[in-house]
Every structure is written in structure tokens, then in C-alpha cells.
């Protein structure tokens, strides 16, 4: 290993969200130049991380058992240090995980990425993140300017803040997978108009408003389809809502799709009706695939979607506005195409994976030196 630096990534979960995607992108990029270790509870995406042949130490989620999880995190970081002296720790999403790490390594660079907080307790989480990060982090990464401003508002030390947009890779589409998904979900872009979204099926994603708006525009359009990719606690409730609205036969709940780029390639345009959002990876992925986007005017979405240039911004929870914009695009396919081209350019300028990786490594090098 010689003088190879040792990076340790610490995650509070390994589920199927944006936090894991971003961390995996960093690990994939840096594992050839650095020794990489991962500390995280086991989860659905663990196999993807283990494919990277990294040093993995499991700890119990603190939500399940705090004392056991704390003991295992401490044991894991000590094991990683014994494997090879640690040079930098990068914590994602959970500010509380920094406390034992800083106590064990008082002089080590600790980077903390804030991925955005959701739900009724979001403001409390932001305040705690600011408090903990000011005390324990060397640098804090926020994923969009809106998050930067919010963190400063809640007391984050701006001297520690770095704004690095979430980035996604340019997709390489496997046409055989596209055909398989087309058959599986009975989708045909040649005869149907397909509106799509990809999000966790939770309150914060605003999918109930998308279903209501879709029901309005689908009345006289038998070949219109809505595809919702994702899993979550509201799955049964949303499926029942589609039944109640009379659109169950034209709404596809695709579940978790590990070939999302191929599914997204079937969409005519993309909708993100979130009520809370930082920098949406799904939105960036849609733009990378040259898709027009309708998004809500909250969080980082306002930085991703250029209103009336790459798509439309609408108020959150506004079914009337969403239905109007859906109808507007459905009636103007040439505008959809123009928005799509502009969206791809905006992706390349701000949200390409290479940009995120370069800026993150620049930060690492600064701290390591």
C-alpha cells in the first residue's frame, strides 16, 4: 500500500436512496487511488458496495440499538485504523456519528455531507447538524446553494462549508433491458405517452398530488401512462388512491428498479412533485437522459430546473398548477423536445458526475495536505 492514503466512509444506513448512490460514486472513483474502508449497517445496497472489494465493517443502526451500535462503530473504526492508518473520514447524512469518531481521532480531517433532512422534525435536524458539525467536522459539504443558505441560517459556520452539487453519471443504456422493462410493464413509447417519476413512496415526495393531477389530464387520453418507480411506506395507500381516482389501469407502480436509466429512457418527460428536497439525483438523472422536467419550487429543485427553459417549476401541493403544466406539455411535444435538449446542457454544466468527483477530491487533497 505504501504511501496510499486511507479514506473511511461512514454511513448510517445502506438502503436505496441518494445518500448511498453518492457515496458509492465516490468509492468507485477513489478506490484506485486510495485505500477505502466502509463503516455502515447492513442493508439492501450492501452487495453493490462489496463489489468494490473494500474493507467493510458493520455496525448496528443507532435507530435500532444505540448502545450496541455505538460499541460496534467504535470497534469498526479501530479495526479500520489497525488495517491501515486512517488519513480522512467522510461521514454521510448522520451528524451524530461524528462524535465518537472525533473523540477517537481529535486531529484527523472529518468531512460531513448534509444530504438534506425531511419530515416534521427537519428543522430540528438541521439545527443539530449545524451544532455537531461546527464542533466536530473539519469541512461540511452541502449539495446545493439552497441547502448552503439554510445551513448558514441555522448557524453553520460558513468558513467550514463547501457547496458541491450532487452529480450523476451519463447513462449507458442497454437496449435489451429497455425492451425487457417495456414488456414487463406493458409500455410502448411508439403508441403511448409516458409520464414518469422516481422517488421514495413517502409523504415528502408529494406523489398523492401527482396522482390527482394525472387523473385530470388522463380522462381523454387512453394512451397516457404514469410510471412511479420506488418503494416506501405509502405504497398501498397510493395504489388505493389510483384505484379511487380511476387511473389504476394506466398507473404503473414499478417498485425499486436497479436499472432505472433504462426505465427512464421510456419516459416522455419527468415529474418531481416533492414537498422537501435537497439536490435530487432522480432529477439530475432525468436531465442526463435529455428529459424535460416538471418540479416543485422547493429546495434544490429550483437550481436544477430552469423554469420555462428545461421544464417548469410549480408550487408544492398545487394540483391545479401541476395538471395545467402536464396538459401544456402534452399539447406541445416540440416544447418537450426543446426543454429536453436544454436540460441535458444544464446537466453537463452543473450536475455531471465528473464535476462532483473533481470538487470532492480537491477538498480531500486540501485536507490531506
Q: What is the pLDDT confidence band of residue 118, given thresholds at 50, 70 and 90?
A: confident
32 lies in a domain?
yes
Do 357 and 316 share a structural domain?
A: no
Three-state SS letters, the chain = CCCCCEEEEECCCCCCCHHHHHHHHHHHHHCCCCEEEEEECCCCCHHHHHCCCCEEEECCCCCCCHHHHHHHHHHHHHHHHHHCCCCEEEEECCHHHHHHHHHHCCCCCEEEEECCCCCCCHHHHHHHHHHHHHHHCCEEEECCHHHHHHHHHCCCCHHHEEECCCCECCCCCCHHHHHHHHHHCCCCCCCCEEEEEECCCCHHHCHHHHHHHHHHHHCCCCCEEEEEECCCCCHHHHHHHHHHCCCHHHEEEEECCCCHHHHHCCCCEEEECCCCCCCCHHHHHHHHCCCEEEEECCCCHHHHCCECCCEEEECCCCHHHHHHHHHHHHCCHHHHHHHHHHHHHHHHHHHEHHHHHHHHHHHHHHHHC
Share of the chain above pLDDT 70, in %: 99
Do 209 and 136 share a structural domain?
A: no
Do 92 and 128 share a structural domain?
A: yes
Pairing between strand 110-114 and 88-92?
parallel
149 lies in a domain?
yes
Burial class (CB in 10 A: 0-12, 13-18, 19+), 8: buried
pLDDT given at position 18: 85
Do 241 and 209 share a structural domain?
A: yes
Do 357 and 341 share a structural domain?
A: no
120 pLDDT higher than 90: no
Q: Which three cell numbers stand for residue 20?
A: 448511498
Q: What is the pLDDT confidence band of residue 258, given thresholds at 50, 70 and 90?
A: confident
**Residue whose C-alpha cell is 445496497:** 45
Do 364 and 320 share a structural domain?
A: no
CATH assignment of the domain containing 144: 3.40.50.2000
Do 226 and 160 share a structural domain?
A: no
2 pLDDT higher than 70: no
Share of the chain above pLDDT 90, in %: 94
Do 83 and 180 share a structural domain?
A: no
Do 319 and 189 share a structural domain?
A: yes
Do 196 and 328 share a structural domain?
A: yes
The 10s digit of each residue's pLDDT in 325-345 is: 999 999 999 999 999 999 999
Q: How far apart are CA 1 and CA 84, in angstroms?
A: 9
**Residue-number span of the structural domain to which 317 is assigned:** 175-351
83 lies in a domain?
yes
pLDDT given at position 117: 87
Do 126 and 50 share a structural domain?
A: yes
Instruction: Output the average pLDDT for the chain.
Output: 95
238 lies in a domain?
yes
For the segment 228-241, the average pLDDT, to the nearest whole number, is 96
pLDDT given at position 116: 87
The 10s digit of each residue's pLDDT in 16-75 is: 888 999 999 999 999 999 999 999 999 999 999 999 889 999 999 999 999 999 999 999
1 lies in a domain?
no
The 10s digit of each residue's pLDDT in 3-26 is: 899 999 999 999 888 899 999 999
The 10s digit of each residue's pLDDT in 75-115 is: 999 999 999 999 999 999 999 999 999 999 999 999 999 99
Q: How far apart are CA 269 and CA 278, in angstroms?
A: 21
pLDDT given at position 53: 83
pLDDT given at position 270: 98
Do 218 and 159 share a structural domain?
A: no
159 lies in a domain?
yes
pLDDT given at position 321: 98
Number of domains in the chain: 2
pTM over 0.85: yes
Task: Tell how far CA 184 is from the center of its chain.
Answer: 25
237 pLDDT higher than 70: yes
127 lies in a domain?
yes
Amino acid at each position: 500500500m505504501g504511501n496510499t492514503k486511507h479514506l473511511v466512509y461512514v454511513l448510517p444506513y445502506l438502503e436505496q436512496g441518494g445518500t448511498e448512490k453518492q457515496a458509492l460514486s465516490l468509492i468507485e472513483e477513489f478506490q484506485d487511488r486510495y485505500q477505502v474502508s466502509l463503516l455502515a449497517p447492513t442493508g439492501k445496497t450492501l452487495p453493490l458496495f462489496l463489489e468494490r472489494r473494500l474493507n467493510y465493517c458493520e455496525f448496528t443502526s443507532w435507530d435500532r440499538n444505540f448502545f450496541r451500535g455505538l460499541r460496534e462503530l467504535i470497534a469498526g473504526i479501530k479495526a479500520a485504523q489497525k488495517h491501515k492508518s486512517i488519513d480522512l473520514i467522510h461521514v454521510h447524512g448522520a451528524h451524530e456519528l461524528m462524535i465518537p469518531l472525533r473523540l477517537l481521532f481529535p486531529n484527523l480531517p472529518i468531512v460531513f455531507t448534509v444530504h438534506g433532512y425531511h419530515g416534521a422534525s427537519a428543522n430540528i435536524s438541521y439545527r443539530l447538524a449545524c451544532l455537531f458539525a461546527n464542533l466536530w467536522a473539519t469541512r461540511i459539504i452541502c449539495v446545493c446553494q439552497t441547502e448552503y443558505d439554510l445551513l448558514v441560517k441555522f448557524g453553520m459556520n460558513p468558513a467550514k462549508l463547501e457547496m458541491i452539487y450532487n452529480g450523476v453519471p451519463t447513462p449507458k443504456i442497454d437496449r435489451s433491458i429497455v425492451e425487457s422493462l417495456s414488456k414487463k410493464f406493458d409500455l410502448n413509447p411508439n403508441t403511448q405517452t409516458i409520464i414518469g417519476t422516481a422517488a421514495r413512496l413517502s409523504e415528502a415526495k408529494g406523489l398523492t398530488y401527482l396522482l390527482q393531477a394525472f387523473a385530470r389530464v388522463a380522462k381523454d387520453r387512453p394512451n397516457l401512462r404514469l410510471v412511479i418507480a420506488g418503494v416506501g411506506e405509502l405504497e398501498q395507500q397510493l395504489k388505493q388512491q389510483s384505484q379511487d381516482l380511476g387511473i389504476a389501469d394506466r398507473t404503473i407502480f414499478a417498485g425499486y428498479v436497479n436499472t432505472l436509466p433504462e426505465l427512464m429512457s421510456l419516459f416522455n418527460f419527468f415529474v418531481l412533485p416533492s414537498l422537501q428536497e435537497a439536490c435530487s439525483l432522480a432529477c439530475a438523472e432525468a436531465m442526463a437522459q435529455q428529459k424535460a422536467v416538471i418540479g416543485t419550487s422547493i429546495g434544490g429543485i429550483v437550481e436544477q430546473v430552469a423554469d420555462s427553459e428545461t421544464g417548469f417549476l410549480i408550487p408544492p401541493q398545487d394540483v391545479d398548477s401541476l395538471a395545467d403544466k402536464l396538459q401544456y406539455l402534452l399539447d406541445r411535444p416540440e416544447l418537450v423536445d426543446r426543454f429536453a435538449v436544454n436540460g441535458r446542457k444544464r446537466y453537463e454544466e452543473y450536475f455531471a458526475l465528473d464535476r462532483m468527483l473533481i470538487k470532492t477530491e480537491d477538498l480531500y487533497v486540501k485536507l490531506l495536505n
